[in-house]
C-alpha cells in the first residue's frame, strides 16, 4: 500500500519552525517505514514571505527559501493548494502572530487541520474560541495544541482525557513557565542577586525577547486559561488574577533601555521575600485554578522545600492535577517546559496524531 502523503504548510521558521523541519527531514525514512506516512512541506513561510515547493522542502531548504521566497497572503496559499490539488493538509502555526490566528477559520473551511504552538487562538475572547470549534466540527477537522502548555509535556491531552472520561477535576496548580522556574530554582539555592539570575536566563534564551513578558505573569495566566477552558469553563483572560513580579517603578511603562539599566531594583524586594519565608521554604511562581471556587490565579508562593514544587530543578515545568478519584494525591506531570527541540517534537507528535486520523478516515472511505 502506498504511503499516505501529508502536506504540512508551515507558518513560522524561527527556532521552533526550523527545528521542526530538520526533525522531519531527519526522520522521514523512519515515518515511512514505521507509519507508512510521507510528511512533506510544500509551503513554508516567515511573517512576510512564502516559499512554494510542491514536492516538499529538502535538506537545503534555508538556501532555497532565501533565494525563492515571495510575498504572500493566506488567500494565495489556499489557492495554491487547490491548484495543485494537495490533499491531507495541515497548517502548522509556529509563530506568535495575532494576525495568523484570524485565518484559522478560513483555513479550516478550505480543508486544513491545524496544529499550533501559538497560544493566541486559545486565549482570545470566548466567542472566537467557540466559533473556531463550531467550524472544526462542521468541516470535520482537528485542532491540536499540546505545546501551548508545557512544551512537549502531555498536559492538555491528560486534562482533556480525564475530563471527558467523566473524572471531576478539582484543582490544577503548577509551575508553567520554564523561565520563571529556572529563575526561582536558582534564586532559592544560590546566594546571588535576582537581577544576575534574570540576566543569565535571558542569555540562555529561556525568557521572551523582552523578559518583562515573563515577569508580568501574563504567560502563566494564558496557560492557566487554556487548561480551564479545556475542561469547559468559559473564562476570559481578564478573569485571571495576576500578581505581576514587575515593580511599581520598573514595569511595562519603562523603555527597554531603562528596564535594562535598572534591573538591580529587583534585588532588594526579592531578597526580602526570600529571607522572610518560613524555614525550609522556597519561592515559586505558580498558576492555580480552584475549580469549585472558579478562581484563577498567577502568583508567587512560598512552598515547602520537601514538596514536589519545592524540589524543582533547572527550567522544568511541574503541573499538579487534583481530581475527585485521586483525592489528596495529585497526578503530577513534570519535565522540560521550554526549548526549541522539545517544543518542535511536541508539534511533530500532534502532526502525526492528525496523520493517523486521516489514515483512518481514508480507510473508511476506501471500504
Q: Which residues are catalytic?
A: 223
The answer to whether residues 176 and 220 touch, using CB atoms and an 8 Å cutoff, is yes
Distance (Å, rounded) from C-alpha 172 to C-alpha 150?
A: 13
Burial of 291 per CB tally in 10 Å (0-12, 13-18, 19+): middle
3-state helix, strand, coil in the chain (%, to 5): 45, 20, 35
Q: 3-state DSSP call for residue 259?
A: helix
The sign one gets for the Cα dihedral 189, 193, 194, 196 is: negative
The answer to whether residues 228 and 235 touch, using CB atoms and an 8 Å cutoff, is yes
Q: What are the φ/ψ torsions at residue 288 (nearest 5 degrees)? A: -140, 130
The sign one gets for the Cα dihedral 301, 210, 62, 354 is: positive
Distance (Å, rounded) from C-alpha 271 to C-alpha 324?
A: 38
The total of other beta-carbon atoms located within 10 Å of residue 75's CB is 11
Burial of 359 per CB tally in 10 Å (0-12, 13-18, 19+): middle
Q: What are the φ/ψ torsions at residue 128 (nearest 5 degrees)? A: -65, -45
Nearest to 59 by CA among 24, 94, 13: 24
The pairing of beta strand 89-93 with beta strand 112-116? parallel
Residues counted in the chain: 367
Amino acid at each position: 500500500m502506498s504511503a499516505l502523503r501529508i502536506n504540512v504548510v508551515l507558518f513560522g521558521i524561527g527556532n521552533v519552525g526550523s527545528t521542526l523541519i530538520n526533525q522531519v527531514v531527519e526522520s522521514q525514512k523512519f515515518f515511512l517505514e514505521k507509519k507508512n506516512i510521507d510528511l512533506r512541506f510544500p509551503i513554508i513561510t516567515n511573517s512576510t514571505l512564502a516559499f512554494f515547493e510542491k514536492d516538499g522542502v529538502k535538506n537545503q531548504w534555508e538556501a532555497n527559501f532565501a533565494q525563492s521566497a515571495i510575498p504572500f497572503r493566506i488567500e494565495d496559499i489556499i489557492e495554491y493548494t487547490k491548484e495543485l490539488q494537495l490533499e491531507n493538509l495541515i497548517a502548522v502555526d509556529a509563530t506568535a502572530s495575532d494576525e495568523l490566528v484570524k485565518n484559522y477559520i478560513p483555513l479550516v473551511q478550505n480543508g486544513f487541520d491545524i496544529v499550533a504552538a501559538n497560544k493566541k487562538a486559545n486565549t482570545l475572547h470566548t466567542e472566537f474560541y467557540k466559533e473556531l470549534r463550531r467550524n472544526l466540527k462542521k468541516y470535520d477537522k482537528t485542532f491540536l495544541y499540546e505545546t501551548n502548555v508545557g512544551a512537549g509535556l502531555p498536559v492538555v491531552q491528560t486534562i482533556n482525557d480525564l475530563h471527558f472520561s467523566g473524572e471531576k477535576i478539582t484543582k490544577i496548580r503548577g509551575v508553567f513557565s520554564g523561565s520563571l522556574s529556572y529563575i526561582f530554582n536558582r534564586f532559592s539555592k544560590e546566594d546571588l542577586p535576582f537581577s544576575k539570575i534574570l540576566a543569565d536566563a535571558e542569555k540562555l534564551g529561556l525568557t521572551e525577547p523582552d523578559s518583562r513578558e515573563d515577569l508580568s505573569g501574563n504567560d502563566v495566566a494564558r496557560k492557566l486559561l487554556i487548561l480551564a477552558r479545556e475542561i469547559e469553563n468559559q473564562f476570559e483572560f481578564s478573569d485571571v488574577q495576576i500578581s505581576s513580579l514587575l515593580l511599581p517603578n520598573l514595569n511595562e511603562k519603562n523603555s527597554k533601555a531603562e528596564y535594562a539599566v535598572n534591573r538591580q531594583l529587583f534585588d532588594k524586594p526579592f531578597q526580602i521575600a526570600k529571607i522572610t519565608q518560613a524555614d525550609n521554604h522556597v519561592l515559586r511562581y505558580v498558576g492555580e485554578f480552584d475549580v469549585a471556587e472558579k478562581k484563577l490565579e498567577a502568583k508567587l508562593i512560598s512552598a515547602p522545600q520537601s514538596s514536589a514544587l519545592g524540589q524543582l530543578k533547572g527550567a522544568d515545568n511541574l503541573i499538579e492535577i487534583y481530581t475527585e478519584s485521586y483525592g489528596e494525591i495529585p497526578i503530577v506531570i513534570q519535565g522540560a517546559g521550554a526549548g526549541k527541540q522539545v517544543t518542535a517534537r511536541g508539534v511533530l507528535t500532534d502532526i502525526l496524531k492528525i496523520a493517523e486520523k486521516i489514515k483512518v478516515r481514508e480507510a473508511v472511505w476506501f471500504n
